[in-house]
Amino acid sequence: MDVADPAAARALAEKLGESVQFYKLGLEMMMSGGYFELLEWFRSRDKKIFADLKFFDVPATVGAAVRNLARHGVTFATVHGNQGIMEAAAKAKGDVKILAVTVLTSLDRGDLDDLGFACDVEKLVLSRARRAFEAGCDGIVASGLELPAIRRAVDGRLLVVTPGIRPVENRPSDDQKRVVTVEQAFRDGADYIVVGRPIRDAADPRAAAEAIQSTIAEIFPT
């Protein structure tokens, strides 16, 4: 739900109907006002919520923020920090599953150089995945490009949520750099995928969502 405000989110959700059951509400929506009212609106319609707020602050503050968020019945929440931050979030989570961000899918090798990381992307992702597991996090957010290595290196109980899903060729204006298809993500070990613009920007968002659901059904036949 990377749209301008709660009204736009409700309008898109009405178009999508039953084709989508799980929604990610991020920072843009938080800063537009009405975040928690929108969250409750979704919950009243039996939708699950992924609160993608990437908590990053001193551990005590992150723990308190997660504790407050847990009162709102969200399913997932993200943290983006060091061991102390992840541990504080895990201790305060209640029924919320805490996901640690590894390396944003909008970053590539050059961006990591700018940030002062000397290691390659995969090595950094694996390090953060292991530390998230040790900290008590339920899962991680990671690009599909690192999924095979993650599944080889980290305990299988760790959930992996994969953004940067692009059913078609990436547009030049797209800020997502490390992307994979729906099929590649699930075949390489993703538990969940996050699909935003390919649905939001489609001529028929519901048809786009249903097409992705059909692809998933083919991967996991009943």
Number of residues in the chain: 222
Which tokens is 120 given?
Answer: 């390659």
DSSP class of 33? S
- Helix, strand, or coil (residue 200): helix
Q: Could you give the residue numbers annotated as active site?
A: 54
Which tokens is 215 given?
Answer: 């692809």
**Cα angle value 78/106/125 (rounded, 5°):** 60
Cα distances from 207 to residues 2, 19, 26, in angstroms, run 19, 9, 24
